[in-house]
Each structure stands twice: as C-alpha cells, then as structure tokens.
Chains A and B, each alone.
Chain A
C-alpha cells in the first residue's frame, strides 16, 4: 500500500499568514490522484483539493495544491480563523486508499 507522510506535524501560525503543508508518498501516486481534506473536531471532514491541484466545489482560492509523483504541497495563502484545523492528504490511485497522518494548523 502507498504510505503517505505529512509534515510538519503541527504548524503554529497567526491569522493572515501563509501555511505550507507537505505530503510525501512512499511510491508514485498514479494520475496524481492525491486529495487534501480539512477537518475540525466534531465536524465532518471536507474535501478541499483533488487530483493534486483542482479545488473542490466552493473552496476559496486561498487554498492551492501542487505536486506530482511522490511530493505534494497544500498552500493556504492567508489563514482565516476557520482554517485552523487538521489537514489530511489522501491517495486514491491504489487500493487500499490511504491517508497521511495529518498536519495540525494551530493559532500562534
């Protein structure tokens, strides 16, 4: 199975700052089938990005994804209060689908 490693584990930033999150795969993710999700405790996770760089419906343009092969990045250009949450990457190219361990974005 494809193992996804996210870094850093925690990111402490202030509102308005830029967040850069990394996701590295143990082998190449076919067709760049890599997604990012936003998750706040007690809430439903939300799909942000799919196919490495395509924003899901109604996702604001401060979220952008990039990368290919084994290295992927999620950038939040200017953090809003609702962006402080845990972010997961997920590959959906190979069975079983797998998630990274998550990056927590905290308020500094």
Chain B
C-alpha cells in the first residue's frame, strides 16, 4: 500500500522558518518526481514545487521562489520542504505528492502550516 506521511507543520510567526518532511513507502520512491501541493483554508489546490527523481531538477511556483527549497533523500525515501521568510498567505495544508512528470499519482494526507503572530 502506498503511503506518504507528512510531518513538521505547526504555528510559526511571520518571517519565520519551518521544515516539512514526507516519509514515503509502498512504491519505488526513487522512480518518481516528487511535489509539494498546498491548500489554503477555504481555497483550492495550488502546486508549490517539484523535484526530479535524482534531485537534479527543481521548479517552484513564483510566489515561493527564493524562499522555499525542495529536496529529497532517496536512501531514506524522504522528501523535504525548507520554508523561510514565511508569510500569512503561506498558511495552508501542505501535501506531499508523487508524480510521473506533472501527473500527480500519490498523495499524502497533508500537514497544516499556520503563519500568524
């Protein structure tokens, strides 16, 4: 059974930092592109970032460029999102998602990040 379990969410002040983690199992992690997708309260889904199987290619939505960094460790079947200079508008549930190219196959249940003073 495919499992993606996110962790690391919580309450952080504006301007602060947070690191999200995602533990993957039940599929060949190293064969998939990996993504972070978020959903702000009461809003729809928004793609945030993607990393290629070997970590050599990364891409971000414009609103997080320069502030967020996606990375992976294939030996640990883990995905990460380093989030810096957080803003109120970054408040959302963050989902870890495995994809083939841009097609999003496997989703975790999400971790909530709240940016507030």
A-side residues, CB < 8 A to B, are 33, 35, 37, 39, 42-47, 50, 56, 88, 90, 92-93, 95-102
Contacts and interface: CB of A to CB of B under 8 A. Distances in A.
Interface bin, chain B:
10 to 19
Given A42-B109, A44-B108, A44-B109, A35 B103 contact: yes
Interface of B: 4, 44-47, 59, 61-62, 95, 101-105, 107-110
A98 B102 CA distance: 10
13 contacts: A33-B102, A35-B104, A39-B45, A42-B109, A43-B109, A44-B107, A56-B105, A95-B59, A96-B47, A98-B47, A99-B44, A100-B44, A102-B44
Contacts of A98: 47
A96 B45 CA distance: 13
B18 to A, nearest CB: 21
A99 B46 contact: yes
Contacts of B62: 96
